[in-house]
């Protein structure tokens, strides 16, 4: 139940970030809702399709859809009444990324995937929705820029897999992996760290 609540929290946070981007891009109400939905469940949907898991998780359980609608409504109301809590959203987004990445890795692991595929599926779950969001809003996806985002998810998933191989309880490995992703992401934001950027001089 605790992990389920964390998953819904991640859905709400990602929906809010998608809604905020839609508002900033002057989209209409439908556009804002679509962007919020894609951000929240896009990564997990692609993962389930690739792993041939049917029905898709939000079709099997409609609570994430209601969570998206609620989070979008709260976001629309908030931006009209109060300043956007940027720092709080960054922290919440890091938590959402961490929970989605490790839970996505667990789904792939339970499907019998190889470690490299588990890492890819977990990263896709955590960052895939944001990629689609950025493409639809005509932005270069965050994971293709120098931000330490998807790389934080990859590091956390690798730590989770290594710890799980030592026969630690799954809940312990999960928790440490989540903390690793959150720690790397927030440290990178606080210190302004990023991956190297390569360019070709004309």
Q: What are 13-26's pLDDT values in tens digits?
A: 889 888 888 888 88
In a domain, 197, yes or no: no
- Given a cut of 90, whether residue 159 has pLDDT beyond it is yes
Residue 145 confidence (pLDDT): 67
pLDDT value for 30: 93
Assigned domain for 202 exists: no
Residue predicted with more confidence, 60 or 139: 60
Q: Distance (Å, rounded) from C-alpha 90 to C-alpha 189?
A: 9
Looking at the structure of the chain, the number of domains it has is: 1
Q: How far is CA 75 from the centre of its chain?
A: 18
How does DSSP classify residue 144?
G
Question: Would 29 be classed as within a structural domain?
Answer: yes
Q: Could you tell me if residue 32 is inside a domain?
A: yes
Q: Which domain holds residue 97?
A: 2-191
Residue 112 structure tokens: 């019998």
What average pLDDT does the segment 144-161 reach? 88
Residue 46, domain member (yes or no) = yes
- Please compute the mean of the pLDDT values over residues 16-38 and round it to a whole number: 89
The pLDDT value given to residue 6: 77
Contact, 173 vs 164, CB < 8 A? yes
Tell me whether residue 163 is in a domain. yes
**Do 98 and 181 meet the contact criterion of CB atoms below 8 Å apart?**
yes
pLDDT per residue over 73-123, tens digit each?
Answer: 999 998 888 887 778 778 888 888 998 999 999 999 999 999 999 999 999
**196 in any annotated domain:** no
Residue 199 lies in a domain: no
The SS3 assignment for 30 reads helix
Of the two residues 151 and 138, the one the predictor is more confident about is: 151
The CA-CA-CA angle for residues 100, 79, 95, to 5°, reads: 20
Unique residue bearing structure tokens 């994971």: 143
């Amino acid at each position: 139940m605790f992990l389920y609540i964390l998953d819904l929290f991640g859905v709400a946070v990602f929906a809010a970030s998608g809604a905020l981007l839609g508002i900033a891009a002057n989209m209409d109400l439908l556009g804002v809702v679509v962007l919020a939905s894609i951000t929240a469940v896009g990564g997990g949907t692609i993962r389930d399709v690739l792993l041939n898991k049917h029905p898709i998780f939000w079709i099997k359980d409609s609570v994430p859809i209601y969570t998206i609608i609620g989070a979008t409504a709260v976001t629309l109301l908030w931006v009209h009444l109060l300043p956007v809590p940027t720092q709080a959203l960054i922290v919440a987004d890091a938590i959402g990324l961490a929970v989605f990445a490790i839970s996505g890795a667990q789904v792939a692991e339970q499907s019998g995937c190889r470690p490299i595929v588990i890492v890819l599926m977990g990263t896709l779950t955590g960052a895939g929705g944001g990629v689609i969001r950025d493409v639809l809003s005509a932005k270069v996806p965050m994971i293709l820029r120098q931000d330490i985002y998807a790389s934080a998810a990859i590091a956390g998933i690798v730590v989770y897999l290594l710890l799980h191989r030592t026969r630690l309880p799954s809940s312990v490995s999960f928790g440490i992996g989540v903390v690793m992703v959150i720690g790397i992401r927030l440290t990178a934001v606080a210190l302004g760290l990023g991956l190297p950027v390569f360019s070709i001089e004309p």
